[in-house]
């Protein structure tokens, strides 16, 4: 008897990746499927195993730190959508919260402030999800994800659930055990073996975080201040991928990547439809019909100019998705 293949309604065929990128860049992809629960993901993996969905699978949250290729890619893009608030963000009295991978970071910051838990404010202007923050150790204003993270629940390529303590995530500045990959890919047609359980090939499902109990009024005031500062200094109203480069450790005191770029005279420099932001030099914005090739060309121009001017090699923070 043939094995029944689960049906899943949230599948789109012949899509463009630009629809799922915060900078609105990217070519065609065979199919896109949205998931919000472990059950959804299990159905998707089973459909791929039976050839209902094209392999490989590539996983994203909001696409806020990933540059998709102009030529697109073969396979299926799996998006972690915002789950139901009651199940996607579960608070405990001790300040701990269990959050699903697709939960938006700004929503988490607002909910933490409302409940009187401090330490989440820096997430308010990061346009990503819990899963993405867990992969790249997202941060802003001197705070980072690893300050909050207690453990990460993942699914390996073989479908096994594992809970990884934060101290095993190898968190560093904008990196973790998961961040070396250029987009997680699952292809169940490959031989199964020990590498299946390699954490670098796993997908984040849920994270346990811990905040500091505080006065809700104070938390909301801190949140408002953070939002006001970020909105005044970053192009949050324009399509971008957030910070393009990591802040270099060998820069002069007080110099961030943005300041190095700005003082190299690069604000407003363009390549095609991609421009170094006039508001914050460490942001590239899509001025209309930007392409990944133009983004990469501008990336090279900025790196070369900064190296000539300062003798510093900037390291990209944006993840370039290989076709």
Q: Nearest to residue 44, comparing CAs of 28, 200, 104, 36?
A: 36
Out of 174, 271, 291, 319, the active site residue is: 174
Whether 221 is a known active-site residue: answer no
Q: Can 304 be counted among the known catalytic residues?
A: no
**From residue 228, how far is each of 234, 241, 259, 277 by CA, in Å?**
10, 20, 20, 19
> Does the annotation count 238 as an active-site position?
no
Annotated active-site residue in 24, 176, 317, 319:
317
* Rounded CA separation 262/112 (Å): 35
Query: Of the residues 100, 243, 264, 277, which is catalytic?
Result: 243
Active site residues: 174, 243, 317
């Amino acid at each position: 008897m043939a094995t029944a293949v689960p049906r899943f309604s949230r599948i789109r065929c012949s899509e463009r990746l630009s629809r799922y990128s915060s900078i609105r860049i990217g070519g065609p992809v065979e199919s896109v499927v949205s998931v919000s629960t472990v059950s959804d993901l299990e159905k998707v993996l089973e459909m791929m195993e039976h050839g209902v969905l094209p392999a490989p699978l590539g996983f994203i949250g909001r696409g806020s730190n990933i540059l998709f290729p102009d030529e697109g890619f073969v396979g299926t893009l799996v998006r972690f959508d915002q789950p139901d608030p009651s199940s996607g963000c579960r608070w405990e009295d001790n300040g701990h919260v269990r959050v699903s991978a697709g939960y938006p970071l700004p929503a988490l910051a607002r909910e933490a402030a409302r409940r009187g838990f401090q330490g989440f404010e820096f997430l308010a202007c990061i346009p990503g999800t819990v899963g993405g923050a867990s992969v790249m150790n997202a941060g802003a204003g001197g705070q980072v994800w690893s300050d909050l993270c207690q453990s990460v629940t993942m699914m390996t390529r073989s479908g096994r659930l594992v809970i990884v303590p934060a101290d095993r995530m190898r968190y560093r500045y904008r990196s973790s055990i998961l961040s070396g990959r250029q987009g997680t890919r699952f292809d169940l047609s490959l031989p199964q073996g020990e590498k299946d359980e390699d954490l670098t090939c796993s997908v984040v499902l849920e994270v346990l975080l811990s905040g500091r109990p505080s006065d809700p009024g104070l938390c909301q005031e801190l949140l408002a201040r953070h939002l006001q500062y970020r909105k005044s200094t970053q192009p949050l109203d324009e399509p971008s991928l957030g910070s393009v480069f990591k802040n270099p450790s060998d820069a002069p005191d007080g110099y961030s990547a943005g300041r190095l770029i700005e003082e190299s005279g690069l604000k407003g420099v363009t390549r095609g439809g991609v421009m170094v932001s006039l508001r914050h030099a460490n942001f590239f914005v899509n001025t209309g019909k930007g392409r990944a090739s133009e983004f990469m060309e501008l990336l090279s121009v900025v790196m070369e100019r900064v190296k000539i001017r300062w003798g510093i090699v900037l390291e990209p923070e944006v993840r370039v998705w290989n076709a």
